[in-house]
Structure 1
Amino acid sequence: MSADLSPARLMILARGLQAAADEMGANLVRSAFSPVVREARDCSCALLDAQGRVVAQAEMIPLQTAALNHSFAAAAAQLDLSDPRPGQAVILNDPYSGGQHLNDIIVFTPILHEGELLGWAGSTAHHLDIGGGAPGVNSAARDLIGEGLVIPPLLIDVDRDWRGGMVERLIFANIRTPTIGRGDMDAQFAANHVGTRRVLEMAERFGPAAVHAAMTEVLDYSERRMRAGIAALPDGEWTGEAWLDSDGSAPGSPPVRIRARVRIEGDEAEIDFAGSAPEARSMFNSTFASSMAAAVTALRSALGDLEMPANDGCNRPLKVHLPEGSLLHPSPGLPVRARATAACRALDAVHDALGKCVPERIPAQGMNATTGFFLSRRRPGGFDLHLDIVGGGWGAAMGYDAIHATDHVLSSCRLTPVEAIEQVSPHLRMEATGLIPGSFGPGRFIGGMGIYRRYAILSDDVSLSIYSDRFVRPPRGREGGRDGALASLTVTREGEAIALPGYGTFELRPGDVVELRLPGGGGWGDPALRDRAALARDLEDGLVLDPAPYATDPAR
């Protein structure tokens, strides 16, 4: 710790940085135009130091915030960011230049105090449409360009290039929902402005040297806590695996495996994903930044240190190997829209490995996949585009039952309210939505319930597109707990039920009813050991539909 930075002052500055990042996130959500940002909160914010290391991040989406350092590093490798000027910004979405998928546009703006670079404010938001071969998502894309507009790292002057300037005009000439897109981008610039203002206030009050020192110290502090958490694990090497329903390369493609080898030695850890499925000509590839974020998050979540500040200091004791040409590190040019599914399986595989050394810390699998559900309509003069991001149940763990119908651990998107959907989507009506009793895995501790949503189609020219998982292989239970249910998607047309797979596009007609059902999580521990009073309440409340798995008769 710097001699000029007392523990009390460090705490004030560290909490100030965290509060600034949180305020950035709140401002972005309040200012956004699209329901996917304003309601579902598919966005993230962070503060970076002058070297581009994340020092404070809002509690939003780990898959985005834990990867922002890679995004900045890729931009810095392509641009001269050594002497940024006031009013400049970096924007990008290229998955092969540190980005996530094309819909996630990243904005960095410099934080300058009397000409000195203190750091950078960064934000990410999922944009409703990014062009490409279909509204919202092109499930048939076999290359990145088919998914939409690729924005390599660009250093722009906001007044000249954005506010009616050529960069803004070029981007939104290629997007189907330009008004919404501009509103969300402006919200990102506003969020970055808030973060910048708060850091400058700290520099005015305590001096820029103190801000620099605090940024360095919070990284060192997280590193120390991360090392202590790793050191508490037993030394050794373990292997785990997890499976996707398919790599999406062709209809009926078989399940594919993600494999992780975890090695713990002292206060350092190594994760190697050699042996994982090869890259695919489909949207289920995961970007390098997303896969790295998944690996770091998987290890951090298993350490049990809930108070550890999430920043780049957590990465220092960890080495991650992502084999090139694999589903977790694809060749440039391949599509990556559904990258979160493979990233979630990377997290599941790491947890499967760690479950062999610290089983009491590792939960059963949850739904653990992003379900992007789109109902789009072309109309005269534009498009109506509905995107629902829906989460299933989480997996149970030792000591607690899991939560219901919540986005996975690498994300934190909220369920969009029915009222918000119908207000901006005149081509559909929400018929019903609710939890699904019995959709979880029985166990000593039970998984969270899944969810269903039922939509009535009200107009012509409506297309359904989806990417999801768990339609073929259910969320796995742990330590004797049972698996969760399977997902399903059904279109009822003139009394006939048409079952659809977990990814693809389907043309709808007025009067069609679409029902999406996502599973609950796996159970943890032998169901026969479930507390009898808890089981009685489960049966009375209709949460448990079949008591047979919980019977204590050895002959059951």
Structure 2
Amino acid sequence: MSSIDLAIFSSRISAVCDEMGAVLKRAAFSPNIKDRLDYSCAIFDSKGNLCAQAAHIPVHLGSMAYAMSGIIERFDWHDGDMVIVNDPFLGGTHLPDVTLIAPVFYDGALIGFVANRAHHVNIGSDSPGSMPISSSLEEEGIVISPTKIIDQSVLDESLLEKLAHSFEAKGDYLAQVGANKSGVTRLTELVTRTGVESYLAQLNDLNAYGRRLAQAELSRITPGEYEFSDVMDGDGITSDPITIRCKLRVSKHGIVADFTGTSAQVAGNVNCPLSVTAAGVFYAFRCLLPDYTPACAGAFSVIDIIAPDGCLLNANYPAAVAAGNVETSTRVVDAVLGALSQADVTLAASASHGSMNNIAMGSHDSQHPWDYYETIGGGMGASVNGSGLSCVQTHMTNTLNTPIESLESHFPIQITEYSIRKHSGGEGLFYGGDGIVREFEFLSDTQVTLLTERRQHQPWGLNGGSAGKVGCNWLNGELLAPKVSLQVKAGDRVRIETPGGGGWGEPNS
């Protein structure tokens, strides 16, 4: 199969994922999905190997790619089925991210799966926004083990009612169902045009091509062992620093990312299931590959991961993981990029803001219940290619900001400031990007949870560039801890100042 034919085939199946995402966005009700675009879509083969994905959320797709096979082996699949799951220890990320998986049959034979994952702002936690300062998984909400929500085209209405806490939430679940149905239809049409044997052969060729590309590009890294450590601010229960240690072993056969020496799993919620750690590693190396590299299993097959059982990055059930998906995954990327910089400083960017700067809020008052959650961008790290961007999401998230008009029309909130945090990026030959200032004024009594990082340890610079500024969280002018839950009154203001990115290179004199 020629490279041109492979490129066309890769674009065709990727377009199926793009259309699934468009359906989900247009049909969803909540700002988290329709405005922030906190969702992802992908296609897998009949064994659960990744075939294609849209350019959505890296932490979603990398974790699905790592653990899909274990989920599909649990079921006797039929046409019209759909499985729902959010268990972080069975291929999930954290409980708000709910995945729906649908099989694709052709002439009675199972030929693959489509799947989408979307963030649900209320997954049953007592804490509004379902991102609590937790110390066990059960505090974070409802754990959905892989379960058929649709069995041979029959929807389990009782399960949907149990999961959906509002009309809006029900609409989001049904939007996910619709996205998968769209994916099944479009993939079936593609197989009909190409023929099933040709389709499966092209999948094999695509994976072989992805593997060759990855081997060729990653073989440019000088063989050897490269180690880097980074530190997290704490787990929300204590402020004790938490170490992430990464050793990369690079050879002509591939790369091993070894996290031996990383801190043991902690009492708070910054723990990661191994699938989330894998997502961070896959993403970091995907950034080194050409844009035209297909997003398939073959492209990741040259990377192996070691994370000792029971450590922060391979935590055991029922560890709390709500912030592991959003905060620790991002810092896994920092550790991998830091190790790559030891091999060749031009391979890696300086540290970006290193946090998704999460804020969850709402009220479970019986008369006016509401839940909201968002992530806030910051400064991108600089690199040999130039200065970092300001006020952007980086690495493991790819969501948009919620437009102020949407936020204020849905919830009792006003945004009193939304601006660039000037001079928060690190200096250097190339500057780190600046962070963001976002200030919320609450119009009614509200419970607020902040899960943030880089409030105590600066985003590092490279090659003589200086570090970016740490972030700060404030309540009515008083400094808050990086991770905190608090009850605010009408008129109170929470101000979040996100970190800047690290600089790169010695400044010009």
Place the TM-score, normalised by the shorter chain, in its bin: over 0.9
> What residue number does 1:543 align with?
none
What amino acid is aligned across from residue 174 of structure 2 in structure 1?
D
Task: Classify the secondary structure of the residue corresponding to 2:343.
Answer: coil
Q: Which runs of 5+ in 1 are unaligned?
A: 530-551
Q: Offset of 1:346 from its aligned partner?
A: 1.4
Report how far residue 201 of structure 1 moved. Answer: 1.0
Are residue 468 (structure 1) and residue 452 (structure 2) matched? yes
Aligned pair in 2 of structure 1 residues 199, 159: CA closer, same or farther (>3 Å)?
closer
Aligned with 1:310 (options 295, 300, 306)? 295
Q: Does 1:217 align with 2:213?
A: no
Q: How is 1:257-336 mapped onto 2 (pairs within 5 angstroms)?
A: 257-301=243-287, 303-336=288-321
1:275-303 deviation per Cα after TM superposition (whole angstroms, max 9, x unaligned):
001101111111211101111111222x2
Alignment counterpart, residue 158 of structure 2, candidates 158, 162, 166:
166
State the distance in 1 between where 2:112 and 2:273 align. Answer: 26
1:99 CA displacement: 0.8
The corresponding residue for 1:28 is 24
2:75: which partner in 1?
A: 80
Deviation at 1:152, TM superposition (A): 0.5
Spell out, residue by residue over 1:101-125, the C-alpha distance to the aligned partner (whole angstroms, 9 max, x if none): 0000011101111212121001000
1:532 matched to which residue of 2?
none
Q: Name the CA shift for 1:376/1:459 in 2 (closer, same or farther; >3 Å).
A: same
Structure 1 residue 60 displacement after superposition: 0.6
Q: State the distance in 1 between where 2:377 and 2:435 align.
A: 8
User: Structure 2: how far apart are the matches of 1:453 and 1:369?
Assistant: 15
Whether the 8 Å contact between 2:14 and 2:54 is mirrored in structure 1 is yes
C-alpha distance in structure 2 between counterparts of 1:369 and 1:312, whole Å = 28
**Cα displacement (A) at 1:159:** 7.0
Question: 2:42 aligned with 1:54, yes or no?
Answer: no
Alignment identity in percent? 28
Inter-partner Cα distance in structure 2 for 1:137 and 1:10: 42
Distance 2:70 2:18 in 1: 25
The equivalent of 1:547 in structure 2 is: none
Letter in 1 for 2:34: R
Secondary structure at the aligned position of 1:395 is classed as coil
What code does the residue aligned with 1:122 have? A
Summarize deviations over 1:200-238 as a string: whole Å, max 9, x none. 111111111111112222111111101111211111111
| Counterpart residue type for residue 368 of structure 1 | G
User: What's the counterpart of residue 178 of structure 1?
Assistant: 166
CA contact (8 A) 1:230 1:267 kept: no
Structure 1 residue corresponding to 2:194, chosen from 206, 229, 235: 206
- 1:19 corresponds, among 3, 15, 19, to 15
Name the residue aligned to 1:436: 421
* Mapped pair 1:96 → 2:89: yes
- TM-superposed CA distance for 1:267, in Å, is 3.8
CA deviations 1:159-199 (Å, max 9, x no partner) are: 77636x22212323xxxx43222111111111112221111
- Residues 427-470 of structure 1 show CA distances to partners (whole Å, capped at 9, x for unaligned) of 2111110111101001101111100111112123x111110101
Following TM superposition, by how much is the alpha carbon of 1:76 offset from its aligned partner in structure 2, in angstroms? 2.8
* 1:205/1:338 CA distance change after superposition, 3 Å: same
Cα distance change of structure 1 residues 160 and 21 upon mapping to structure 2, 3 Å threshold: closer
Distance change >3 Å, CA 311–CA 382, structure 1 → 2: farther
Q: Is the 8 A contact 2:43 2:51 kept in 1?
A: yes
Q: Does 1:139 align with 2:132?
A: yes
User: Which residue is 2:331 aligned to?
Assistant: 345
Bigger drift between 476-485 and 399-408 goes to: 399-408
CA positional deviation for 1:343: 1.5
Q: Which residue of 1 aligns with 2:185?
A: 197
Matched, 1:524 2:508: no
Residue 111 of structure 1: aligned partner: 104
CA contact (8 A) 2:17 2:54 kept: yes
Q: Secondary structure at the match of 2:228?
A: strand
CA contact 2:460–2:468 (8 Å) conserved in 1: yes
1:506 paired residue number: 486
Distance 1:191-1:342 versus aligned 2 partners, 3 A rule: same
Partner residue, 2:114: 121
SS in 2 for 1:109: strand
Per the TM alignment, residue 67 of structure 1 is displaced from its structure 2 partner at its CA by 1.7
Contact 1:55/1:215 (<8 A) preserved: yes
Alpha-carbon distance, 1:409 to partner:
1.0
- The alignment of Structure 1 onto Structure 2 pairs a total of residues equal to 508
1:545 corresponds to which residue?
none
User: Cα distance, 1:130 vs. partner?
Assistant: 0.4
Give yes or no for contact 2:128–2:447 (8 Å, CA) kept in 1: no
Cα distance in structure 1, aligned partners of 2:237 and 2:72: 34
**Larger Rg belongs to:** 1
Do 1:240 and 1:349's aligned partners in 2 also have CA atoms closer than 8 Å? yes
Distance 1:69 1:76 in 2: 12
The match for 2:464 is 480
Q: Does the aligned pair in 2 maintain the 1:368–1:407 contact within 8 Å?
A: no
- TM-score, with structure 1 as normaliser: 0.88
The question of whether the paired residues in 1 share the 8 Å contact of 2:243 and 2:262 is answered with yes
In 2, the alpha carbon distance for the partners of 1:185 and 1:255 equals 38
What RMSD over aligned residues (CA atoms) do the two structures have, in Å? 1.6
**One-letter code of the match for 1:311?**
C
Q: Which residue of 2 aligns with 1:549?
A: none
Q: In 2 relative to 1, CA 7–407 (structure 1 residues): closer, same or farther, beyond 3 Å?
A: closer
**Alignment partner, residue 356 of structure 2:** 370
What is the letter of the counterpart of residue 453 of structure 2? D
Cα deviations by residue, 1:292-317 (Å, 9 ceiling, x for unpaired): 1111111222x252321222112211
